[in-house]
Structure 1
């Protein structure tokens, strides 16, 4: 199967239409991985294809007339029988229940009211969203037969974003490869009937709030950043050692939480600035807020000496209201340091990411129209608006964020990606280093909204 995985050694192939061989192989591998991990025998796996399950050429002729040859080839090779026969039921993946029925292939909202039926063959809802995740009006994964690209729609309400003319759709094999990467890393985990943990199970899938791989890769990225700074300092570091675990002494962290384990194991540093204008935090502004026992508060990791900027938006009646980067539980605290926070989460919720983080600046950026999130959207743009212009609004919290997630439900960017990117910036000489650590001060982040540097501050899309 290794030849079908999308890797540097086996990149995307240039084919006409959908790469049906590769996509069917990846689809079937996801089914197989989930099936065996949930304690079932491969000898019991119903490997009938979607095409077989719905009657073959004779029964499917009306649908075949609207499907491209490569989509038909995919449906003739992708396993679907297990969906029909498995007891208990077996979802294809955490976010997708399975391939759609023939009738549901055309049930999507990607068409304008003025379009006639002749054009309503372009978009195919290949996979149905997993209704158990609680999305309002779930839809699924939609494939564009004209461009041979796809995008997730957890809900039909996502359509105004995905169809705004600016969102970039992806080859289906990249999305399926993303799912397999989540399985490889343990972020999407199939479990057997003996599972009695607190994570919500959508048979057979659970989503751990963080994985051993997440923790190890975050520690590796922090260690790499530390070494990159120290080797470029003009002299040997002379400051007293500073430890990340000191940042959370005033907060209550479970030793088994991502924050607790990361802060405890992170190596000490002997310089001040880990990134422009940011040093190890010496306070926890939200530690006194009462929250639901199952939720984890925001944790300030690296702080600025300046307060966080308060973003606002205009209401329909003309008033300016503050947009908090945190949930309502924390909105009574309006003054807190700018810096990098692990954001709050419910570890047992539907979309838990204990390692999600947010960089909050002491000023808003984006007014120049260069700063972008991973999905290519401008900071503060109206994602639901159609057309080439987006009228961006400067924001202080969008830097490094993913925007519309092409793989799963939206979440804050994982800490490991930010720390790894910071290490890149130092190693490539895009951030200077002086005797105090990373130089440039807090104003350095304004580069993210300039023509020459915005790409240096945009992370690639990830799940």
Structure 2
């Protein structure tokens, strides 16, 4: 744990929130956490690690009750029992910190004190939890809700992160405008989460250009000679005709350059006027009652298409664990490929979120890994590691260690593909990537899984 860096990052966020509330930086003179809580910290000091104490001695307190620390976290916890108490079931019984049922005092149970709730989560999920800090290892992980804690502390299979990495992620969201300070008239004052930013569009266009350049540099020279092509994948008229809604996908498709090949990844072809106009989910909202339609802001949009189909396994239980898109977009069959996720007013406010839907399931061999370090389909409560085949967990984060869960961002997937091309892991031919759709099965092999692993980002 880099204590000085943690203090620097935390205090910068507090300062940005102060200014976002419309106050002057010249009037910014907050007390530290220890200064603010005074004598109340005496009991807590003996329960904290030396590094965490050093952090809290330098970390500013958000003294204004109207100011939230961040969009995802309201404030540092006060040094009371709530800092040390968790609802039973968040961690394994060996490490659970509990209240006495009637007195609200700390109960002396085995392992008491290893985990503390350092920041309290905002009310974005039922039963908010917060940023949990491991005092033994000086690492942390975000848990937005007590229902988002499966296997969190059990068996060491879920990766926790240094506190500075989490604070850096929170600050990065502010710096690029994903989390904006808009003033005191918003729910988590002054913060607001936006679906996407200009920075995100520019970033993914740049990475896509790098991927295209890497492929074209490895194509046979004669195959680069072709007729004139449009400068971008699509113009606005084509997307409007295809009813692609305004948003991240629309901006990306009108700015990304048009490659001189067909296949951008194994078995996945670039969109054409025909495929972009034949979106499998666009008519689905018509089946939803009229008074519910406003909830859905954008259906899933297919970006790169496979010639093969995804077919949901049968028999189909009430809640299939690999139901890739939520109601009403949980269709039983549609073309495999890379999709932008649906957006609604509740769960997914990340317009650049994607899923790679394969025509077959992988993961059962136990090698494929999500960003949180767990196997595909893993039951995190089992003491022994386990895995199951899944159709859409490749590249996904799994547990999101920094913020609320959401699908992986497109830029992360494209960065991985750039690496596959530059290292020579994928073959390049006259039509671009020459490997077929079965190439993805290597993600669940001893020699291949690490090449397909994408570390978590916000």
> What's the TM-score bracket when you normalise by the shorter of the two chains?
0.7 to 0.9
Among 244, 247, 251, the alignment partner of 1:253 is 244
The match for 1:175 is 166
Q: Secondary structure at the match of 2:13?
A: helix
Change (3 A) 1:114 1:420: closer
Question: What's the counterpart of residue 262 of structure 1?
Answer: 252
Aligned to 1:6: none
1:35 aligns with 2:18: yes
SS of the residue 1:32 aligns to? helix
Matched residues in 1 for 2:390 and 2:370: separation?
11
Q: Which residue of 2 aligns with 1:121?
A: 113
Q: Which residue of 2 aligns with 1:450?
A: 445
2:139 maps to 149
1:277 maps to 267
- SS in structure 2 at match of 1:97: strand
SS at match of 2:144: strand
Once the two structures are superposed, residues 5-28 of structure 1 have per-residue CA deviations (whole angstroms, 9 ceiling, x without a partner) of xxxxxxxxxxxxx43322222111
Structure 1 position 151, deviation (Å): 0.8
- 1:336 aligns with 334
TM alignment of 1:34-53, pairs within 5 A = 34-53=17-36
Q: How far off is 1:420 after superposition? A: 2.0
Contact map agreement 1:189 1:205 (CA 8 A) in 2: yes
Once residues 311 and 192 of structure 1 are traced to their aligned partners in structure 2, the CA distance between those partners, rounded to angstroms, is 48
Deviation readout 1:121-165 (Å, 9 max, x if unpaired)? 11111111112x2x1211111111111111111111223331232
Instruction: Tell me whether 1:99 sits opposite 2:76 in the alignment.
Output: yes
Of 342, 364, 385, the residue aligned with 2:361 is 364
When residues 405 and 312 of structure 1 are mapped into structure 2, their CA distance, relative to the original with a 3 A threshold, is: farther
Could you tell me which residue of structure 2 aligns to residue 64 of structure 1? Answer: 45
Q: Are residues 370 and 114 of structure 1, via their aligned partners in 2, closer, same or farther at CA, if it must alter by over 3 Å?
A: closer
- Distance in 2, matches of 1:373 and 1:248, equals 33
* Alignment deviations for residues 340-361 of structure 1 (CA, whole Å, 9 cap, x no partner): 0111112x54650011011001
* Secondary structure class of the residue paired with 1:141: strand
CA gap of 1:112–1:407, structure 2 versus 1, over 3 A, is closer
Match of 1:140, SS? strand
The aligned residue for residue 345 of structure 1 is 343
The answer on whether the counterparts of 2:322 and 2:391 sit within 8 Å (CA) in structure 1 is: no
Residue in structure 2 matched with residue 78 of structure 1 by the alignment: 59
**Contact preservation (8 Å) 1:167, 1:377:** yes
Does the aligned pair in 1 maintain the 2:91–2:149 contact within 8 Å? no
Q: Show the counterpart of 2:290.
A: none
Cα RMSD after superposing both structures: 2.4
- CA separation of 1:23 and 1:239: change in aligned 2, threshold 3 A: same
User: In 2, Cα distance between the equivalents of 1:303 and 1:177?
Assistant: 35
CA distance 1:111–1:393, change in 2 (3 Å): closer
Is contact 1:367–1:393 with CA below 8 Å preserved after alignment?
A: yes
Q: What is the CA distance between 1:191 and its match in structure 2?
A: 1.3
Q: Give distance in 2, aligned partners of 1:112 and 1:378.
A: 20
Instruction: Summarize the Cα distance change of 1:314–1:102 in structure 2 as closer, same or farther, 3 Å threshold.
Output: farther
1:320 to partner: Cα distance: 9.4
TM-score by length of 2: 0.86
Residue of structure 2 aligned with 1:422, choices 403, 417, 422: 417
Distance across 2 between alignment mates of 1:248 and 1:380: 36
Deviations 1:7-62 (A, max 9, x none): xxxxxxxxxxx433222221111111222234221233351111122124xx4322
Q: Name which of 179, 195, 200 aligns with 1:209.
A: 195
Shift of 1:75: 1.7
In the TM superposition, residue 456 of structure 1 has moved relative to its aligned partner by: 0.6
Aligned partner of 2:383 in structure 1 is 387
Q: State the distance in 1 between where 2:48 and 2:315 align.
A: 44
Identify the residue that residue 122 of structure 2 maps to in structure 1.
Answer: 130
Contact 2:245/2:298 (8 A) holds in 1: no
TM-score under structure 1 length normalisation: 0.86
- Would the aligned equivalents of 1:309 and 1:364 in 2 still touch at CA under 8 Å? no
* Corresponding residue SS for 1:154: strand
Q: CA deviation at 1:117?
A: 3.5
Q: Distance in 2 between matches of 1:434 and 1:402?
A: 31
Query: What SS class does the counterpart of residue 24 from structure 1 fall into?
Result: helix
Quote how far apart the aligned CAs of 1:167 are.
0.7
1:461 aligns with 2:453: no
Give the aligned partner of residue 14 of structure 1: none
Q: Is the 8 A contact 1:100 1:125 kept in 2?
A: yes
Render the CA deviation track for 1:213-234: whole Å, top value 9, x for unaligned.
Answer: 1100111111111111111111
Mapped to 1, the partners of 2:452 and 2:399 lie a distance apart of 17
How far the C-alpha of 1:183 sits from its partner, in A, is 1.2
Task: Give the match for residue 11 of structure 1.
Answer: none
Of 235-244 and 300-309, deviating more is 235-244
Counterpart of 1:232 in structure 2 is: 218
The correspondence for 1:439, drawn from 397, 417, 434, is: 434
